[in-house]
A and B are shown apart, each in its own frame.
Chain A
Amino acid sequence: AQSVTQPDIHITVSEGASLELRCNYSYGATPYLFWYVQSPGQGLQLLLKYFSGDTLVQGIKGFEAEFKRSQSSFNLRKPSVHWSDAAEYFCAVGAGNNRKLIWGLGTSLAVNP
């Protein structure tokens, strides 16, 4: 069965530090991969997506993610975190004929000043 795992429930980083949020998926073929961000009490916003081609994708707000087929991973990175990046981050996989997104449980990011 398709699944998405975000191993880190909560991460705290200092402002200006680099960030990497992990995402692992389970799917037999190349999936469609997504990262979304959610501010408290708000909806989700698409940060970036990978369908095919270059395995390093750039997104909004200075985020990037790298698809590694051998590791079944799609980790999200940012070189320098800003206090406004504090939010919940969700990884999602779209796969198969049912065209539904499979969601990870999210990683909560806190940023220390």
Chain B
Amino acid sequence: DGGITQSPKYLFRKEGQNVTLSCEQNLNHDAMYWYRQDPGQGLRLIYYSQIVNDFQKGDIAEGYSVSREKKESFPLTVTSAQKNPTAFYLCASNIEWADYGYTFGSGTRLTVV
């Protein structure tokens, strides 16, 4: 079955280190998204990509970076510049930018230790 795979499910990072979260989809979706979820704050958009080799900043892009070299993959790097990286990170995709039927991955919980 098609879907979105996020790995790892749990990730621990020391302060000052960069870490990369993986997001892979086999749905043949053009658009992909990264959200951050904190308790009581809903979902906040970090970055999104409409097509391969193109991406835009979302509402809270500072301290994060992404790449979109392949249609199937949209990795997120949490850099040391992100002051409060402990959160639940969700990756999503949809067929095209105009389609709101997002498919979500099961998330990665990042904890800074």
Interchain CB contact under 8 A, A105 and B101:
no
Shortest Cβ distance from B90 into A: residue: A43
Interface size class on chain A is: 20 to 34
Nearest chain A CB to B94's CB is how many angstroms away? 10
Interchain CB contact under 8 A, B106 and A103:
no
The total of chain B residues at the interface (CB under 8 A) is 21
Interchain CB contact under 8 A, A44 and B42:
no
Interchain CB contact under 8 A, A43 and B98:
no
Q: How far is the CA of A14 from the CA of B48 in the complex (A)?
A: 40
Chain A interface, >50% SS class: strand
In the complex, what residues of A have CB within 8 A of residue B109's CB? 41
Q: How far is the CA of A41 from the CA of B109 in the complex (A)?
A: 8
Is the CB of B102 closer than 8 A to any CB of chain A?
Answer: yes
Shortest Cβ distance from A32 into B: residue: B100
Q: How far is the CA of A90 from the CA of B109 in the complex (A)?
A: 19
Residues on A facing B (Cβ under 8 Å): 9, 32, 34, 36, 41-46, 49, 90, 94, 99-101, 103-106
